Every structure is written in C-alpha cells, then in structure tokens.
Chains A and B, each alone.
Chain A
Amino acid sequence: MKNGSLNILIGGPAGSGIEKSGQVLALSFVRAGYFVFSNMEHSSQIRGGNNFLRLRIDENAHEVHTEETDAIIAFDKQTIDEHIHEVVEGGVIIFDGESVEIGNGVDSRFRGNDNNGVVKMIDVPLKKMASEDFGNPLVANMISLGVLFGLTEFEMSVIRGVLEKIWGKKGAEIITMNLKALDAGKKIADEKWTKGFVVKMPNRVDSRLRGNDTKSGNDSRMFLCGNDALCIGAIKAGCKFVGEYPMTPSSSVLHFMAGWAEKYGIVVKHVEDEIAAVHSVIGAGFAGVRAIAATSGGGFALMSEGIGLAGMNEVPIVVVDVMRPGPATGLPTRTGQGDLQFMIHAGQDDPIKIVLLASSPEECFEMGFEAFNLSEKYQLPVIIGYDKYLGEGYYTVPAFKKESLKIDRGKLLSASELEKISDYKRYLRTDDGVSPRAIPGQKNGIHRATSDEHTEYGEICEDAENRKAMVDKRMKKMEMALKELPGPELIGDADADITFVTWNSSVGACLEAAEILREKKKNINVLKIRTAWPFHKKETKEILKKVKRPILVEQNYNGQMGALIAEQTGIIIQEKILKYDGRPFTAKEIIENLK
C-alpha cells in the first residue's frame, strides 16, 4: 500500500448501482490527475447474481487490473466471501452490517486465523442512513463512496463537477443530495477510521488551473473503454452508416453511435439480424458511404457470407468483432480471444480481407480510423478484432493524436475523372489490383457489382482464364495492403531472454509481467501482433528467428496465434501460457505460469 495508488473493488448483485458508483469514483480520481483502469466482471443477468467492478487508480497508467485490493465496497455477502482474500494487509472492507450479513467467521476465513484483524471491517448503516437521513434509499451507495473518499483524504471539491456531469440533466437537487450523502460518509470516515488507512490520494492537478471541468485543467484526460475509442476513430473517419444488431460485448458501439447520430449526421440502424447488418453496410459502402457493423462471435458467424460478398464485389466495409468466449452463446459477458482463426476464415474460399488486432484504446481509435482508409484504398472488408476486456475495459488516456490522420478514399473517382473514361470497367485489372471505383449516381460509371465471378465490367463469367485473372487481381490487393499494415512490434530490449508473443489486451498483462520481472533481473520483451491477415510472414519470421525463448500468451485453448505463426512462418512456438476460463489475465498469473 502506498500513497497515490489505490485498488478498489465494488461488488454486489446486478442492479445495485455498481457501475454508477464506479463511474463517480473513476471520474473523480481522473479529474484529480490520476490514471484509472477499470474492468467489470458481470454475469449475463439483469438483476441478482454477483457483479464486481475493479478500479486500479495510480499515478501511472495501467492497462491491466490486479487482484491485490486495498478497499472493497461490498453490497452483498458474496463479494466479501469471494474477495476478502485479495485484500492486502491494512486494507478495508466497507459494508452495511444491517443488510450484508457477515458471520463471526470472516476474519478466520481470511488467510486463516493468524491474519486476524489485518483487514478492517468498516460497518456503516448505509441503508438506514439513506432512508432516515435522506429519505432516499438510492443514496446508500454515495455514502459508501464518501467513506472511501474520507479514508483517502480526497479533495471533495473535485467531485461536484463529476456529479454535475453524471446527473446534470436530473437537476441541482439530485446533485446536492448526493453531495450531502458523500459528506455524510466522509464524516464517518473522518471520525473513526481515517488514521487507520494509510493510502492517501492527494489532488495531483494544480488547483490554480483547475475549474470544475478538466478542460481548464492542465491535464485533460479521457476515461473511456475500447469500444468508445473505436467509435471516436470511426466518427473521425467520416463513418456515416451503422448497421447493427445488439450483442454483448459489442452493443455499446451501437449505443454510442446512436447517441451521436444527430450531431454528426450518422444513420444508425438497429436491423433485424446480423445478416441484415452486414448487408446494409455493404449497400452503404457500395453507394459510397463509410459504414461499420460491430458484433461479437455469434453475430460474426451470421455475417460470414456477407464478408465474403464484400470481398468478391470489392466493397469497402468495416466490421468489428468484440470477442467473448464461444462457441454458441458461450460466456456472453466474459472475455476471450477465440475468434482469431474464425475472423481470418469467415467466408468461403481464400480470405479477401484485412484483419486488424487492437491491443489498447489508442489502437482501437487508430484502427477505427484507419480501417476506413484501408477498406476504401483496397476495396475490401476490414475486420477489427479485440477482446471484451479491451472493448469494455475503461482506460485513462489523453485526447487522441489526430494531427497525422488523413482521409484517403483510394481510387474513388470524381465526376470529372469519370467523364474522361470512355469504356468504364469497374473491375479493371491494374498493376496494384485496385480498380478505379465509381458509385451509383455518377454518370459514366454504370456497372453491376456481382457476387458471381465476373469480368472486368462486372458481368457474370465462368471462363477459366478470367477466373484465374480475377482471383490474382483480388489477391494482388492483399499483397499491396500488407506493405502498409501495422506489422509485428517488438517492445522492450531486443536482446531479452524471454519473449512473450501475444495480441489484444493480453499485451497489457504481458508488459506488466515483464516490468515486474525486470525488477527481479529478468530480461523479457513482448512481441505484439497487430495484423492477423494478410500476415507479415517475413517480418515475424525475422524477429522470431532471433528470439531466445518465445512464449505464446493468449486466451483460447488451441493457441490460435501460435498456429497462425506456425502456418505462416514455419516456426513453432513450444511454450504456451493459455487461458480460456473467460476471465482476463493478470500480470501475476502470467508470472506464476512462467517456469
């Protein structure tokens, strides 16, 4: 435990306001200059069960949670039973003894009898205070947060702005009541507990520069999830059509885009199924509009034939697969990396598509932007794949870098360019495989985009020679695209003794594991794979040939990235740390698995 670093777990049944409480805590600490990483583990039910949210608050940024917890806010017994062993010495558990029953056995259950009393049980009559003092049982959560703010001697003035942001629309009364509830909690902490809790969280933002909003501060940072970051990239890229069917953990893309639809003039259509989603996106892409469909594995399965269609008809589209464990319904609200091979091979025959793998919110943003350029430059579907942990995990990041971003619509023809073409061929064979593209409404560019094999004009054609030439043409585009796709990235000392080979959010856990082990004089680097298809054979092989001891780290049973690397480079990575229980890696877990 140390000042400026606080790990919190809030747990309780679904519907007990865990997410809102987490949001208040997270935004308060972000605005006070901290980096917050937050992830929610929840079950696929709307009420009941046991959900919990972790907040890792630190002076430095983290992209992975840790199970070592300083403070728990427990709204049910299960939270205490299941997580008390994670609380570090000197940590606290805030709970309401009147509604959360804890037997006398708590201390003894905690690491055995010899640890008696190392965790402080802060029993606060939250419900009673909420209804008796505030006449509103809903503020119980705020009282518990107040206790925590009090323990850490957090500067309460920061919080008003946060509440205004979250509840602004509901009016000043609600905000005042919640502030009072926070104060009531803080008072309890101040009176009884503050001295006993060693972690203090002073304001890290220069108060002279800080108003109620961070904009005027010197440190404006966003607190957002991977899906949010992707959406910002897509909006920036000029995406104007979203065709989607809700599926956890991708639905927030649909909700986000719908929320901004009016402001940015985006047509957001919740359609009848994922088949309609991908085809409506294809229709929009064909008509010259940048379009996206996000889904998870099951919906992606329904999109498979459509993704092949976009490849065949050379239509630019962007599809996002936010992965959860499968097959079938699998674990709807949990995380996994099991769709790698599926994303590559969804659709018949050899894949005509680009598959990008994001491993951080920054990459979600960049890929969310660049995918549209790539899809229009090479006139094919671009898939972005990442796991639920990244998609729904919350990160603290500065405003994204946008200076170098440029819209590139590839060989999309202007009216005047089209006018000069006398015999327009939509699928003209060119050196780079990419044909000049006309869109409906343009004169002189009339054509049919055809899912049967076709001539350069787009006419159905079964001729063997034509078939071969058109396959070669489409594959040429893949070859050209590969040159500008993000290649394998070796992070850390090139001379390291061990190399974690990994992708998606597992990168964050690997990087932290490497950092922890560095202190123990172990030299470890991380090979991050950013493009799954087409594959950087040469570059990956060159790196892996030099690596001393590669270890594959990913979240599926077969080690799909390892299989892809073996298939593409001939190099078989023997050592594997694989996880497929639906729960994300921690650095500690990776270290424990390292022999």
Chain B
Amino acid sequence: MTNLKDLETRDKSNWCPGCGNFGIQTAIKQAIVNLSLDPANVVISTGIGCGSKINQWIETYGFAGLHGRSLPVAMGVKLANHNLTVIDVGGDGDGYGIGMGHFIHNMRRNFDMTYLVENNQVYGLTLGQTSPTSDKGMKGPSTPFGIIEDPINPIRLALSSDCTFVARGFAGDIPHLTGLIEQGISHKGFALIDIFQPCVTFNKINTYAYFRQKVYKLEEAGHDATNLGEAFARAGESEKLPIGIFYKVEKPTYESSDVGLKDGVPRAQVDISEIDVSEVEESFM
C-alpha cells in the first residue's frame, strides 16, 4: 500500500502561490495511490520549465533532463525496463515547442506511457513569453504587439498522429484530473493528457475563472470516445472547452512488438556476464 505521505519529498515545491501545477502534482500523487503503484517502480521523466520541476517533489524515481527532451528519455527508460510505470510531464513550450518532433513520433510508436502536458499557454520559467498554444493576439515580452500565429491544437494533433488515448484535464478540477491520470496510466499504450494549467503570474487571460466558466465534461455530454470524427469535432470547440477523454483505442504497444524484447524480459534484468559472440565472428569468416 502506498499512501500520499510516501510520495512526499524532503524538499517542498517552490511554484508561485496558486500555480496550476499544485493541482497537477496532487492529482499525480493521488493517481499513484489509487492505483497502488509502488513508487520504486514509477519513473517520472521531465524536461525544463516551471512545470518540469514537478518530479523534484514527488517521491518516485525521476529523471530531470533537458528542455524538450523528456520523451526520448522516457522512451529509453521504457525500452530498458517495460515493467516500470513511465510518466512524462512537461510544459507546453517543452512538449509542443522545442520537443514537438519527439511528441509526434512517440505517439505513433505507442509505448505504454503517460504524457501529461502542463499547458499554461506561456513560457513560465523564462518570464512569460508566448508559447505554441498561446491564444492568437496574446502579448508577451517576445511578442509585444501580439502573437501572429494560430495556436497549436494538441488534441487534434494527437488524434491525427494516431495517439491511442487522447484526453484533456483541468488543474482546477483535481478529482476529475486524477481520474484521467489513472485511466491514462492504466491504458496500454501512449496516453496524452493535455492539462489546462493556469499560470497566475504571466497569463492573465487563461485564468482559473476563465476555465471554470468554459469547461464542460465530455463524459457528461454523451461523447463517444470511440468515434474519431466526433473527437476531432469536439477538439475544435472554443466557445466551451471540453475536458475528459476525447478518444481511446487499443493497439499493440511498441514494446510488445520489438524483436529485441520477444522473450518479454526487461533488458535491465538480463544477465550480461557471459555473452558468446562466436556466431557473429563466424559470420565474417
């Protein structure tokens, strides 16, 4: 049995008071407890950003790497030991900006892992520049006249990248988010959960109040999460903002299909003390 106390670290988090990341941190911990996961079997991989600091303050194994590179690290961890529960967490700049290439490729690979994006629609740690998901026209230090580009729609991107579990949560609704994370972790395949995460310091548009007024729950609206077309349509809504599971489908995971893993044993547990290479050598004779 794991309880919330087991997941507490020596250090305390240093986000701004009221930061949406607190809610996400609580939801991750609660999901680990609810699923009775052993913290020693959980790895949280992160990049760089305010939100990426999250694994500093959850007592599981963690890898805090570089900006935008958490997913390839998570992939390496999963392929090294597929018995681990791998959770990747990062900001929208991290995942949808600098790490975009890795994001798309890992969705199509369908590793059994869960990717949580703390989508605050700004670059927090570098002091409030606009991000790939900032609303058009939003101003920031790098776009004083307002951002010209249209924002990325991560849900539609995931749907068109054959992601097998596509969901959206809200940091201001922790029980709902916890449920999504639990389902994401339980899903056998790559689960994306994009999370509305109010940044109380730099984003004065997409605030708690803004989201409270706009969000509705897909499961309460009779959404069919097996219907790709409907998922795509709902992902385009902007008047009201749906949260919940947009789409879910079962497909073989990458690790279950790799010839190098066909004996099913995690590579980290293979005995490497006496490997005979004579067959390889003979192939050159």
Contacts and interface: CB of A to CB of B under 8 A. Distances in A.
Interface of A: 30-31, 213-215, 220-224, 228, 231-232, 235-238, 240-241, 243, 260-269, 271-273, 275-277, 279-291, 305-306, 309, 313, 399-400, 402, 407, 439-452, 457, 459-460
Contacts of A214: 285
A110 B281 CA distance: 43
Given A269-B79, A276-B71, 14 more contacts: A214-B285, A222-B285, A231-B280, A236-B277, A265-B263, A267-B261, A275-B102, A276-B102, A283-B63, A287-B43, A290-B272, A305-B69, A448-B55, A448-B61
Nearest to B105: A272
Given A441-B268, A460-B53, A260 B280 contact: yes
Contacts of A213: 285
Nearest to B263: A265
A283 B75 contact: yes
A186 B53 CA distance: 73
B104 to A, nearest CB: 8
Contacts of B60: 446
Interface stretch (B27-35, B80-88, B179-187): B80-88
A238 B269 CA distance: 12
Interface of A is mostly: mixed
Contact of A448 (B63, B75, B260): B63
Contacts of B279: 263
A281 B65 CA distance: 13
Contact of A215 (B53, B81, B280, B282): B282
Nearest to B261: A267
Interface of B: 9-11, 38-41, 43, 45, 48, 53, 55-56, 59-66, 69, 71-81, 83-84, 101-102, 105, 258-263, 265, 267-268, 270, 272-273, 275, 277-282, 284-285
Given A266-B260, A407-B273, A441-B84, A282 B280 contact: no
B21 to A, nearest CB: 15
A240 B267 contact: yes
CB-based closest 6 A-B pairs: A283-B76, A238-B272, A279-B72, A287-B80, A448-B62, A222-B284
A452 B11 CA distance: 15
Given A275-B72, A309-B66, A313-B65, A264 B258 contact: no
B61 A240 contact: no
B257 to A, nearest CB: 11
A439 B266 CA distance: 13
Contacts of A31: 285
5 contacts: A231-B280, A240-B80, A280-B76, A287-B77, A407-B273
Given A224-B284, A446-B40, A261 B260 contact: yes
Nearest to A439: B268
B102 to A, nearest CB: 6
A143 to B, nearest CB: 26
Nearest to A221: B285
Interface centre among B63, B84, B275 (most CB of A within 10 A): B63
Residue of B55, B84, B102 ringed by the most chain A CB atoms within 10 A? B102
Contacts of B65: 279, 282, 309, 313, 451
A283 B74 contact: yes
A222 B76 contact: no
B69 A279 contact: yes
B272 A442 contact: no
A447 B56 CA distance: 9
Nearest to A460: B56
B43 to A, nearest CB: 5
A280 B10 contact: no
A390 to B, nearest CB: 16
A450 B56 contact: yes
A220 B284 CA distance: 10
A276 B78 CA distance: 14
A559 B272 CA distance: 40
Contact of B72 (A280, A451, A460): A280
Nearest to B6: A446
Contacts of B61: 440-441, 445-448
A348 to B, nearest CB: 11
Given A224-B284, A235-B280, A284 B64 contact: no
A399 B276 CA distance: 12
A108 to B, nearest CB: 44
Contacts of A291: 76, 80
A254 B205 CA distance: 48
Given A222-B284, A275-B69, A451-B66, A284 B79 contact: yes
B73 A283 contact: yes
B79 A286 contact: no
B101 A273 contact: yes
A267 B258 contact: yes
B80 A283 contact: yes
B59 A241 contact: no
Contacts of B83: 441
